[in-house]
Amino acid sequence: MTYETMQKTLIDGNFRKVRGSRVGKIARLTVIYTVMTVFAAIFLIPYIYMLLRALMQSSQVQLIPIELWPRPFTFEAFGQLFGSGGGYLDALWQTMKIVLFNLIAIPLSASFVAYGFSKTKFAGKRVLFAVMLGTMMLPGAVVQIPLYVMFSKNGFNWLDTVLPLTIPNLFGGGAIYIFLIRQYMTTIPYELEEAARLDGANPFMRYFRITLPLCVPVLIFIMITVFNANWSDFYGPLVYMTDGTETLAYRVFKDAIYTYVTPDKANLKMAGGLFMSFFPTLLFIIFQKQLIEGVSTSALKG
């Protein structure tokens, strides 16, 4: 193949004619990889910008024109945030309480209810399932004010605690999670339970001993989603918590718009953001296959 035909191929965009030849294939792959790498760089630039500026000294982030490479590399910003007086350790502890509770409560509670929907028969099943799906459409803004008033009243006194963001999850844990697990459970053949049933195991034992362990793949997806959702949620804590009891996401939010607005604090902002992104990124890289598959199956089945 000549240079001319290769050029013509590129202009026409008609790769099929030359697909057989090696040069054509290399040219085609070069174009594809170049375009994709450019795009990947565009997607990663904001992330890398945050990373680099989080590792700068306060004096360097104030320079105009800006500098991109930290000199020297320093963890000064992290020291300030997590050191005494930074308050980020306390905020992290609040977040961990919520995250750890929900990581256990939501998969258990949602799978318990999902078992009812997929493996038992009861009067009112269809109606309840429809109502549950309906709650997915409900904007959070509608219920948030009465919930706030309810949690603030005597008898609850839940404000400034983690309770509003944890206890409600004991009751099903959210329609989308129940729905996903139920979809998964319906694919498990009944024969597996039949044997246990004949051995005298009641539905509760069959749920816990047989069906739940088989749901591990979908539960992994749900746990990652639950972690990310609760770790990242700044709005719930913003409504229910005030100074001193806030979670990490709320703290990062508050600092970004009130405390660290001056240019010399930009490294602190970025360090907070970088720490916030660390665990979601790590989880995503480890579980990327399950996550991407989980997201798409939930979309196709919903």
| Residues between 200 and 219 that touch another protein (CB under 8 A) | 202-204, 207
Cβ–Cβ under 8 Å, residues 152 and 159: yes
C-alpha–C-alpha distance, residues 107 and 100, integer Å: 12
Contact segment (CB under 8 A) with another protein among 90-98, 155-163, 213-221, 227-235 equals: 227-235
C-alpha–C-alpha distance, residues 29 and 81, integer Å: 46
Least spacing, CB of residue 231 vs another protein, in Å: 7
Q: Which amino acid is at 181?
A: I
User: Judged by CB, which is closer to another protein: 76, or 231?
Assistant: 231
Residue position matching structure tokens 């047989």: 210
Beta-carbon neighbour count of residue 248 at 10 Å? 27
Token pair of 200 as six digits: 């005298």
Which member of 62, 74, 161, 245 binds another protein (CB under 8 A)? 62
The two most distant CA atoms of the chain are separated, in Å, by: 84
Which member of 11, 127, 198, 299 binds another protein (CB under 8 A)? 299
Q: In the window 69-108, what residues touch another protein (CB under 8 A)? A: none
Contact segment (CB under 8 A) with another protein among 4-12, 42-50, 75-83, 155-163 equals: 42-50
User: Judged by CB, which is closer to another protein: 3, or 300?
Assistant: 300
Q: In the window 124-163, what residues touch another protein (CB under 8 A)? A: 124-125, 128, 131-132, 135, 137-150, 152
Beta-carbon neighbour count of residue 167 at 10 Å? 15
User: Judged by CB, which is closer to another protein: 186, or 288?
Assistant: 288
Q: In the window 240-279, what residues touch another protein (CB under 8 A)? A: 249, 252-253, 256-257, 263, 266, 269-270, 272-273, 276-277
Q: Which amino acid is at 51?
A: L
Told to check if 185 binds another protein by CB under 8 A, we report no
Distances (CA, A) of 200 to 101, 114, 186, 209: 33, 22, 22, 13
User: Judged by CB, which is closer to another protein: 33, or 93?
Assistant: 33
Residue 291: CA count within 13 A, CB half-sphere: 15
